[in-house]
């Protein structure tokens, strides 16, 4: 069973594995409210009680699909911690003023987008709002003002960020009234850069858990033409028997979760059998040498 863990000393309790919804509507054959409810109920059965979504997912359509499922199944919303993100505007019917894709983490935009997300998601609050991307043209004071107001009005219970560098995180963290509770970043065997760029170190220093997006490299781990993916999977084949014959996706999740900062992994598959398979990662504790064997396979050379 997947455990609940604190996201930070003052943060919410969340499940170690999070249901990601970026690709929720990608599969044309499975996009009704009934399909969404089925997937959410499977998550609950496995102990996955945290949902990660964003205003922009499905080009601004995924939040309303989740909201429709919550409306159809009363009581479902309250069983989850609901995380959403905002601050990316791309030209579309929903963002008529956007002439080009850009970021907007101004207070007014954060407040406007969050109020809209609450309506679409059929809820009166988010457990956590993340600023989706650093906006190079918003002051930290302005972004902080938006997050502070949303918390003081009870529209969000906590605030965090995504894709922030450690310096960007520090700056905003100094300006908000309530400490940021996470940085959602790309981290996987396919993209291990966060091991060395200071992001994971900062999380460990502040005792906040990072949230790792694309833990399977967006599926590249399984691409037969991807050399790193091939090396990693053959390395996994050699260790699988030690870990109860765990599947490659579960071993990849377990590697992410082995980092001392205690990352949450955000699963991206829509297939019930793969959701079940990755959930097994929570009970796999990779030993040190297997962590390094996978590091070596990911990088294509031994440690320096
Ligand atoms: N904050 C950010 O900027 C950001 C950016 C990206 C993502 N995210 C979050 O992170 C979540 C996860 O990202 P992700 O979807 O890229 O995660 P991922 O787990 O790295 O990739 C999921 C993809 O891998 C495929 N896949 C999974 N298992 C497979 C297997 N055994 N063989 C072949 N293909 C397989 C899935 O296809 P099937 O569906 O067919 O299984 C899906 O297309 C998103 O839903 C979102 O919530 C956040």
- 231-249, pLDDT tens digit by residue? 999 999 999 999 999 999 9
Q: Provide the CATH topology of domain 4-225+247-283.
A: TIM Barrel (3.20.20)
Q: Ligand 1 centre from 216 Cα, in Å? A: 6
Q: Ligand 1 centre from 177 Cα, in Å? A: 33
Domain ranges for the chain: 4-225+247-283
Residue 57 bears catalytic tag: yes
Give the pLDDT confidence score for residue 27 in this predicted structure. 82
Percent of the chain with pLDDT over 70: 100
Question: Is the model's pLDDT at 1 over the cut of 90?
Answer: no
Distance CA 119, CA 116 (A): 5
From the alpha carbon of 214, which atom of ligand 1 is closest? 20
Distance CA 228, CA 237 (A): 14
Contact between 99 and 120 (Cβ < 8 Å): no
Give the pLDDT confidence score for residue 250 in this predicted structure. 97
Give the pLDDT confidence score for residue 62 in this predicted structure. 97
The pick from 269, 281, 298 for probing ligand 1's pocket by mutation, whose C-beta has the most ligand atoms within 8 angstroms, reads: 269
Q: Ligand 1 centre from 20 Cα, in Å? A: 8
Residue in 57, 103, 164, 243 annotated catalytic: 57
CA-based nearest residue to 77, from 66, 63, 62 = 66
Question: Is the model's pLDDT at 122 over the cut of 80?
Answer: yes
Question: Is the model's pLDDT at 143 over the cut of 90?
Answer: yes
Average pLDDT, the chain: 97
Long-range contacts of 197-200 (CB under 8 A, 24+ apart): 197/165, 197/166, 198/165, 198/166, 199/165, 199/166, 200/259, 200/261, 200/263
Where do the DSSP E strands lie in the chain? Answer: 4-6, 13-15, 17-20, 50-52, 81-86, 88-89, 102-103, 128-131, 159-162, 183-186, 211-213, 264-267
* pLDDT tens readout for residues 144-196: 999 999 999 999 999 999 999 999 999 999 999 999 999 999 999 999 999 99
Question: Is the model's pLDDT at 46 over the cut of 90?
Answer: yes
Question: Is the model's pLDDT at 29 over the cut of 80?
Answer: no
Question: Is the model's pLDDT at 28 over the cut of 80?
Answer: no
Contact between 114 and 156 (Cβ < 8 Å): yes
Give the pLDDT confidence score for residue 147 in this predicted structure. 98
pLDDT tier, 112 (very low <50, low <70, confident <90, very high otherwise):
very high
In this prediction, residues 133-141 reach a mean pLDDT of: 98
Q: Which residues line ligand 1 (CB under 6 A)?
A: 20-23, 52, 162-163, 184, 213-219, 222, 249, 266-271, 274
Q: Ligand 1 centre from 218 Cα, in Å? A: 4
Q: Ligand 1 centre from 149 Cα, in Å? A: 33
Instruction: Give the global pTM.
Output: 0.98
Give the pLDDT confidence score for residue 31 in this predicted structure. 80
Q: Whose CA is nearest to atom 45 of ligand 1?
A: 20
Q: Ligand 1 centre from 279 Cα, in Å? A: 14
Give the pLDDT confidence score for residue 92 in this predicted structure. 96
Question: Is the model's pLDDT at 273 over the cut of 80?
Answer: yes
Question: Is the model's pLDDT at 6 over the cut of 90?
Answer: yes
Q: Whose CA is nearest to atom 15 of ligand 1?
A: 268
Q: Whose CA is nearest to atom 10 of ligand 1?
A: 213
The pick from 18, 20, 35 for probing ligand 1's pocket by mutation, whose C-beta has the most ligand atoms within 8 angstroms, reads: 20
Q: Whose CA is nearest to atom 24 of ligand 1?
A: 219
């Amino acid at each position: 069973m997947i455990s609940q863990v604190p996201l930070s000393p003052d943060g919410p309790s969340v499940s170690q594995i999070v249901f990601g919804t970026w690709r929720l509507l990608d599969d044309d054959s499975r996009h009704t409210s009934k399909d969404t409810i089925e997937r959410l109920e499977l998550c609950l059965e496995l102990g996955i009680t945290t949902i990660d979504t964003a205003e922009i997912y499905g080009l601004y359509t995924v939040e309303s699909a989740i909201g429709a499922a919550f409306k159809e199944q009363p009581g479902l919303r309250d069983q989850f911690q609901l995380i959403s993100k905002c601050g990316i505007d791309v030209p579309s019917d929903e963002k008529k003023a956007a002439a080009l894709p850009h970021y907007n983490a101004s207070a007014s935009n954060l407040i406007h987008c969050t109020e809209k997300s609450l309506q679409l998601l059929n809820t009166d609050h988010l457990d956590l709002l993340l600023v989706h991307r650093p906006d190079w043209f918003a002051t930290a004071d302005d972004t902080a003002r938006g997050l502070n107001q949303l918390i003081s009005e009870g529209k969000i219970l906590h605030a965090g960020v995504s894709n922030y560098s450690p310096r960007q995180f520090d700056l905003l963290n100094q300006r908000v009234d309530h400490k940021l509770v996470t940085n959602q970043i790309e981290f996987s065997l396919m993209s291990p850069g966060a091991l060395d760029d200071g992001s994971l170190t900062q999380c460990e220093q502040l005792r906040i858990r990072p949230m790792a997006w694309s833990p399977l490299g967006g599926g590249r781990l399984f691409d037969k033409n991807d050399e790193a993916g091939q090396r990693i999977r053959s390395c996994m084949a050699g260790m699988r028997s030690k870990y109860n014959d765990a599947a490659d996706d579960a071993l990849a999740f377990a590697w992410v979760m082995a980092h001392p900062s205690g990352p949450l992994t955000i699963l991206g598959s829509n297939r019930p059998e793969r959701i079940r398979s990755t959930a097994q990662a929570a009970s796999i504790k990779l030993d040190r040498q297997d962590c390094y064997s996978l590091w070596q396979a990911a990088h294509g050379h031994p440690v320096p």
